[in-house]
């Protein structure tokens, strides 16, 4: 018998581990840490509802200090944990993040082309520089891989400096040691 036949074909795969949000995730690697942290240039933060926790929401805003929070959900809601719409807007204001609802004209209807059109108008009107992160609020059910690709293509066609994507929540598969 060859060694190939003797190798086990089954492998234990651990379930994904939820990763914590860290201040370092939003700092330029070349900055001097906590003394003189620089925001990560060109960072897009993709925040998936309803999967995020209140803690992840608050920490991401606090650590990232985004310039804009772009609402791309057909039905914007902030009822996670003890959070509600009023508290969410207080957090936006405390971090000097401009909340832009790009879907209010849809009246709760899912229309991906209209969302992309609103995003395009926003980009041309406000011309974000991406020197601070930009946060995108999406709904897991409404945002499949194709739609997310179109969102990122729309942003990239406007500004090629938006180069990194940070997803919240974040998961990691940790393999078992051999």
Q: CATH code at 134?
A: 3.90.190
- Cβ–Cβ under 8 Å, residues 19 and 168: no
Q: Integer distance in angstroms from the first to the last C-alpha of the chain?
A: 23
Q: Is residue 117 part of a domain?
A: yes
Q: Mean of the pLDDT values across residues 53-60?
A: 95
Q: How confident is the model at residue 2 (pLDDT cuts 50, 70, 90)?
A: low
pLDDT in tens, 103-120: 887 776 778 889 999 999
> Residue 133's pLDDT is what?
92
> Residue 28's pLDDT is what?
78
The domain total for the chain is: 1
Q: Is residue 43 part of a domain?
A: no
> Residue 82's pLDDT is what?
93
64, 81, 102, 168 from 52: Cα distances, Å: 16, 10, 21, 7
Q: Is residue 35 part of a domain?
A: no
pLDDT in tens, 8-56: 666 666 677 888 999 888 887 765 555 666 777 889 999 999 999 999 9
CA dist 89 and 7 (Å) reads: 56
- Cβ–Cβ under 8 Å, residues 31 and 37: yes
Asked if the model's pLDDT at residue 75 lies above 80, the reply is yes
DSSP string spanning the chain?
A: --HHHHS------PPPEEEPP-GGGGB-TTSBTTTB--B-TTEEEEEEETTS-HHHHHHHHHHH--SEEEE--SS----STT--HHHHHHHHHHTT-EEEESSGGGTT---HHHHHHHHHHHHHHH----SS-EEEEEETTT--HHHHHHHHHHHHHH-TT--EEEEESEEE--PPP-
Q: Is residue 157 part of a domain?
A: yes
Q: Is residue 140 part of a domain?
A: yes
Q: Is residue 102 part of a domain?
A: yes
**What is the residue range of 151's domain?**
48-170
pLDDT in tens, 165-178: 899 998 876 554 44
* Residue 102 burial (CB count, 10 A): 22
> Residue 42's pLDDT is what?
85
pTM attached to this predicted model: 0.81
Q: Is residue 111 part of a domain?
A: yes
> Residue 88's pLDDT is what?
94
pLDDT in tens, 124-153: 999 888 889 999 999 988 878 898 899 989
Q: Is residue 128 part of a domain?
A: yes
């Amino acid at each position: 018998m060859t060694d190939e036949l003797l190798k086990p074909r089954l492998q234990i795969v651990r379930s994904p581990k939820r990763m914590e949000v860290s201040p370092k995730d939003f700092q330029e690697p070349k900055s001097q840490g906590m003394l003189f942290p620089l925001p990560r240039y060109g960072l897009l933060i993709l925040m998936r509802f309803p999967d995020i926790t209140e803690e992840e929401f608050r920490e991401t805003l606090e650590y990232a200090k985004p310039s804009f929070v772009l609402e791309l959900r057909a039905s914007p809601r902030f009822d996670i944990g003890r959070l509600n719409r009023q508290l969410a807007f207080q957090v936006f204001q405390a971090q000097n993040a401009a909340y832009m609802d790009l879907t209010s004209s849809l009246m709760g209807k899912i229309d991906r082309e209209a969302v992309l059109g609103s995003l395009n108008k926003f980009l041309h009107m406000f011309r974000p520089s991406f020197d601070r992160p930009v946060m995108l609020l999406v709904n897991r059910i409404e945002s499949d891989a194709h739609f997310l690709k179109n969102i990122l293509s729309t942003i990239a066609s406007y500004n090629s400096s938006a180069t990194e994507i940070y997803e919240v929540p974040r998961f990691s598969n940790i393999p078992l040691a051999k």
